[in-house]
Amino acid sequence: MMLSPEELLAGCTLTHEVEIPADLLPVGGGTSVRRVALRPLSVRDLQRIDKAAKDDDSLSAALMIKQALAEPSLSVDQVMQLPAGLGRFLVERINHISGIDTPRDALEEYVQAPLAKACFILAREFGWTPEEVSGMTIGQILLYLEMARREGKENGAGN
């Protein structure tokens, strides 16, 4: 049975209580409650955050926290004053409940796969060893990949 639009959108209204680890809060903070309520970010939230932050990772994180923090409500200025460790913790939880977290192993795989492919292409095109390619900077690798691509086009090999 297919989901209805209402069923798909229902997750956006849920809030998740998240316990803040004691080591991330100052001692004697005046409250025994160490929880916040977070809501998942929607596609629209992420688009707005991306547009507003314009490649500023710290602003992007602050806007994510501001948007997802249902209780207590904080201003952007207040969010920017949070301790860095607490900010990182909240962003990790927000990513998780929003379904956009990437496990470290998968992230490493995403980064390594293109480099491995580049090493293979450069070894094939220029006869270099993996050790020679691994000693290059990313800029050098990209330059030689572009050279190999252009040479392939000139010889009728396409992309």
* pTM of the predicted protein model: 0.58
| pLDDT, tens digit, 9 for 90 and up, residues 92-107 | 898 888 877 655 555 4
Give the whole-number percent of the chain exceeding pLDDT 90: 13
Q: Alpha carbon 18 to chain centroid distance? A: 20
Q: Are 124 and 145 in contact (CB under 8 A)?
A: no
Supply the pLDDT for residue 57.
73
What integer pLDDT is reported at residue 69 of this predicted model?
A: 93
As a whole number, mean pLDDT of residues 78-105 equals: 81
Chain-centroid distance of CA 132 in Å reads 31
Residue 107 has a pLDDT of: 45
Domains of the chain: 10-98 (3.30.2220), 104-154 (no CATH)
Model pLDDT, residue 36? 94
Closest by CA to 88, choosing from 64, 52, 53, is: 64
Residues 21-58 pLDDT 10s: 888 877 655 556 689 999 888 878 888 888 888 877 77
Whether the per-residue pLDDT at 126 is higher than 70: the answer is yes
What's the longest Cα–Cα distance across the chain? Answer: 73
Nearest one of 30, 35, 31, 32 to 16, comparing CA atoms: 35
Residue 68, pLDDT > 80, answer yes
* Per-residue model confidence (pLDDT) at position 90: 92
| Spatial separation of the C-alpha atoms in residues 151 and 153, rounded to whole Å | 5
